[in-house]
Structure formats: structure tokens, C-alpha cells
Structure 1
Amino acid sequence: MSKQLSLFNADIETQSVSISEIDSDDQTVAKQEAIQRYLDSKEKDYQCCVTKYSSGSSSREYYRLSYRISKRRMKHIHICGGSIISELATYRAKKLEAMIDHGAELEEVIAAVRTFNSGQK
């Protein structure tokens, strides 16, 4: 008995393969990886933050970078630019907070503060 020739393999015809299913799988994997990166970044113990403070005799508040150098000791660096009502000081504080939120290393954040304080733009 003669067989009919076929251009396609019989096994492939029975499988349901769709470009949308493949694309959907890639998107699912990408979403899972993005969620895992987010969770990993949240597990990180932040060593620094931007805080407000006021000097002893003044009622004005200023921004500073506070970071831990040992289990019990904190260190603070003033962020130049004026009091918290100053646009420049607020801009610099938000810039540093964004760096911290995106996972910048402590040394990078301190370098940015030193750049701000040295008058470089």
C-alpha cells in the first residue's frame, strides 16, 4: 500500500503551538524575574537615609544624610543648599533618596553628598 507524502511531520500537527502562548510564557517569566528583583532589593538592609534636623538654637530645619558605621553608632553629613524650604536643598534630598531607593551603595551616596557640598554641579 502506498503512503501519501506529507510536508509536515504528523507529530507537529497534533501539538498546539501558538505564538501568543510563547509570548505569554516569556512575559510571565519576565514578570516573575521582576518581582524577584523587587523582593531581593527590599530584603537589603538600608544603611543610610535622608533626615531632617534643626540646630539647637534655630527653628529652621535642614537635610542631612544619616548612616550607620557600626551597630550602635550613627554618622550624619549635612546636605548643603539651605533649609528645607529651599528648592535646591529639597532637590538634592530627593535626588539622594532616589539613589537610596534604587539600591545605590553607601559610598556612592556619600560621594554624591560630598559633590553637592563642594559646590560642583
Structure 2
Amino acid sequence: MITVSTDKMKLNVPFIQHFLKDIYWAAGRTIEEVQKTIDSSICFGIYLDHVQIGFARVITDYVVFAYVMDVFITEEHRGNGYSSILIHEMMQEPQLQEVKIWRLATKDAHFLYQKFGFKELAHPERMMEKIKI
């Protein structure tokens, strides 16, 4: 049975950190840093028979803006539609229903997010970033 929960007490933080530490967008993130990101976000754990198989988090002000981050399903569970279930539950989360602008960055999962209305930036020239190295 698949379930999705926003209960942070159910999250397996070592599991999340172990997965993220080797992924291009979060390489080297320590368990302390992972915990800090969890504490500062709405988090979604996805569970197969009560065992965590994926994760996602949203940084938001609950009205104007939400940024989706750290979305993953473990490799052995990919291809079963679990990422779609996870994103669907995220988009249906009652706390996030007022949010007007959703953003995310992806290198290779455009097909997933397009199913939920995400598209390329209409005006990328207006976007800026600052990256601390």
C-alpha cells in the first residue's frame, strides 16, 4: 500500500540524507543540513507498506510562492508511478492551495512536472540567482 504523509516524525532522515548526498543537486549535503532543510519546509514522505521510498519538500510563504525541492523516488521503485502520486499529493496539500506561483528546477524530469501544469519560464530573462560557492 502506498501512502504520502507530511508528518515530519515519520521521515527517515538518514535515508533521505543517504540518497541526497550523491545526487547532483544536493551532493555532499550533511545529515545536519538535511535536517535543517526539513525543519524549514513542508515535507512529503512517500511510503510503500510503511517503508519510506521517496521524498519531496516545498519552501513557501503559503500565499504567493512555493519552490519544490529534493524530489526523489529510490531507484528500485521508479517506473511504478510513485513520483506522480507524490507530486499529486503535494499539489493537493490543503496548506498550499492559496499559492499562486510554483517553481522548481529539473535537469531531466520535465515530463513529470508538465503533467501537473509546470512549464518553462515565460520570462527567464527576469530571473536571477546568486550561488554561494
Mark yes or no: TM-score above 0.5.
no
Q: TM-score range by the shorter chain?
A: under 0.3
Taking CA–CA contacts closer than 8 Å with sequence separation of 6 or more, which of the two structures ends up with the larger relative contact order?
Answer: 2
TM-score of the superposed pair, with normalisation by structure 1: 0.28
Structure with bigger helix share is 1
Structure showing greater radius of gyration is 1
Taking structure 2 as the reference length, the TM-score comes to 0.26
**Structure 1 or 2: more strand by fraction:** 2
